[in-house]
Amino acid sequence: MLKYKVLLKITGSIAAYKSAYLTSKLVQNGYDVKVVMSESAQKFIGATTFEAISNNQVYTDMFAPREALSHISLMKWADLVIVAPASANTINHFASGDGNSLITALFLAHDFNKPYLIAPAMNTKMYMHPATQNSIRTLKEWGVKILDSDNGYLACGDTGVGKLLEPDIIFEEIEKTLKPKKKNISVLITSGGTKENIDDVRFIANISTGNTGAAIANHLISDGFDITFLHAKDSTLPKLDCHKVEYFSFSDLNNELKKLLSQNNFDAIIHLAAVSDYSVSEIKLLDENYSLPLSKKMKSEEETIELKLKKNFKIIERLKSYSSNKNIILLGFKLVSGNSESEKINSVNALFTNTQSDYVVLNDFSNRSQSVQSNFRIFTNEKELNKVESSLELAKIISNLILKKKGIK
């Protein structure tokens, strides 16, 4: 059975003792737990307690001997990171991008394909302070899941919000995130970009990383969807558990889609893969004529070579006919760059007409900037529904659209 790895960060709150119970509950339920403690946290409870309960080394110092890269390796190790209890100080440091302790540096290095949970614990005034509230808003925007705080008796004698959630509830949140309740909805996601061989060692590729596909998959998996992830070789993979199938070229992708769609009864397909419009049909060297299939390496002495490409058909236009479920929900992506607004709308309309897509996401590459990584506009064939700038926001919308179409929301 898969053993999930949880990185538990403990910061300086009187509630730190509750994390001993949380660690124990996680361990008893089969989780592998590693603990990181802030300097202040160790004033409330000793590292030895967590070392004994977790049966793992406890990390406290970024500069400890032989631990020089723990701020990266622990992040890579974890399937999920949780800060419990999270002090106001740490929450505000996170939002400012500080990295002068192991806990904050690990946050800066975090890979947001993995869940990051924060369970705040503090006095009501600290919790409601504009600095803390602003930080919580910022962290949510970055993809952090901020758990509610309880309302109740606080160590300082006050009663109000800011109290750490009971560890049993925090445990449930971790379980819910890593082992979501199944919704019985199966979704096929294509992601990454096709590569077209020129010879045995060279290919034509595109810039698709697969990041958006992996982010959407992670979100849908944590929402309880069954995901089959059809991905390019070397593209980003979802961190959460799902069925993964690899493709290389246009024809591989087409064959895999035919097979998967005819043999399964998917409820929806999210077709993000960047599919090459052309494949290599012929290579002409000056002194030789190579034709595909190629079985050797192209010569490098040639001054010029001619590469002949042949047009591929549009896979997306065939998806509904490949599918055994004729009511499959199809969500297509259209990448545009430098087009006028009317050209963009025309290309969205053309996609609806030619593919019978239920939804189209227009991804405007030219609108990217340092601060705006993505620019997604979501359409039905009647109107524009939303405009979002992050893969996470897009994933939430896609999840809701599928649930709505299936009559679940």
Ligand X SMILES: Cc1cc2nc3c(=O)[nH]c(=O)nc-3n(C[C@H](O)[C@H](O)[C@H](O)COP(=O)(O)O)c2cc1C
Position 375 contacts ligand X (CB under 6 A): no
- Using the rule CB under 6 A, is 149 a contact of ligand X? no
Taking CB under 6 A as the binding criterion, the range among 82-90, 109-117, 301-309, 379-387 that sits at the site for ligand X is 82-90
To ligand X, the closest distance from the beta carbon of 57 in angstroms equals 19
Helices (H), 192-285: 211-222, 250-263
End-to-end CA distance of the chain: 33
398 membership: H or E segment, kind and range: helix 391-405
Q: Which of 6, 12, 54, 198 binds ligand X (CB under 6 A)?
A: 12
Pick the piece of the chain touching ligand X (CB under 6 A) from 24-32, 38-46, 369-377, 382-390. Answer: 38-46
**Of 5, 6, 11, 355, the one binding ligand X by CB under 6 A:** 11
> What are the backbone dihedrals phi and psi of residue 369, each rounded to the nearest 5 degrees, phi first?
-150, -175
Nearest to 144 by CA among 114, 117, 173: 117
Which of the ranges 11-19, 48-56, 168-176, 263-271 carries the binding residues for ligand X, by CB under 6 A? 11-19
Residue of the chain from 14, 298, 335, 345 that contacts ligand X (CB under 6 A):
14
Based on the shown chain and the rule CB under 6 A, indicate whether residue 95 belongs to the binding site for ligand X.
Answer: no
The residue nearest ligand X at its CB is 12
Using CA atoms, how far apart are residues 393 and 143, in angstroms rounded to an integer?
Answer: 9
Q: Binding to ligand X by residue 13, rule CB under 6 A?
A: yes
- The SS3 of residue 41 is helix
Q: Does residue 40 belong to the site contacting ligand X (CB under 6 A)? A: yes
Closest approach of ligand X to the CB of residue 168, in Å = 19
Question: C-beta of 18: minimal distance to ligand X in Å?
Answer: 11
| Neighbouring C-beta atoms of residue 274, cutoff 10 Å | 21
Which parts of 113-142 interact with ligand X (CB under 6 A)? 121-122, 126
Nearer to ligand X, 155 or 307 (CB): 155
In angstroms, what is the minimal distance from the CB of 149 to ligand X?
10
Angle CA 96–100–104, to nearest 5: 60
Q: Which is nearer to ligand X, 164 or 283 (CB)?
A: 164
Question: What's the min distance (Å) between Cβ of 155 and ligand X?
Answer: 6
What is the distance between the alpha carbons of residues 8 and 31, in angstroms, rounded to a whole number? 11
Antiparallel, parallel or unpaired: β 203-204 and 196-197? antiparallel
Could you give the CA distance from residue 294 to residue 103 in angstroms, rounded to a whole number?
Answer: 52
- DSSP strand E in 316-402: where? 329-336, 359-364, 376-379, 384-388
**Pair of tokens at residue 157:** 């004698």
What's the number of CA atoms in the CB half-sphere (13 Å) around residue 73?
8
Please, which residues have CB within 8 angstroms of residue 266's CB and are 6 or more apart in sequence?
186, 187, 188, 228, 260, 323, 325, 328
| Residue owning tokens 């042949």 | 310
The answer to whether 169 contacts ligand X (rule: CB under 6 A) is: no
In this chain, which stretch among 81-89, 180-188, 205-213, 305-313 interacts with ligand X, using CB under 6 A? 81-89
Q: Does 215 bind ligand X (CB under 6 A)?
A: no
Q: Which residue has the tokens 């899941």?
A: 145
Mark the segment that binds ligand X (CB under 6 A) among 87-95, 198-206, 298-306, 369-377.
87-95
Beta carbon nearer to ligand X, 14 or 345? 14
With contacts defined by CB under 6 A, how many residues of the chain interact with ligand X? 15
Tell me the one-letter amino acid at 230. Answer: L
Provide the token pair at 169.
């509830």
Minimum distance of ligand X from residue 395's CB (angstroms): 31
CB of 106 to ligand X, least distance (A): 13
Catalytic residue positions, numbered: 156
Which residues of the chain form contacts with ligand X (CB under 6 A)?
Answer: 11-15, 38, 40-41, 87-90, 121-122, 126
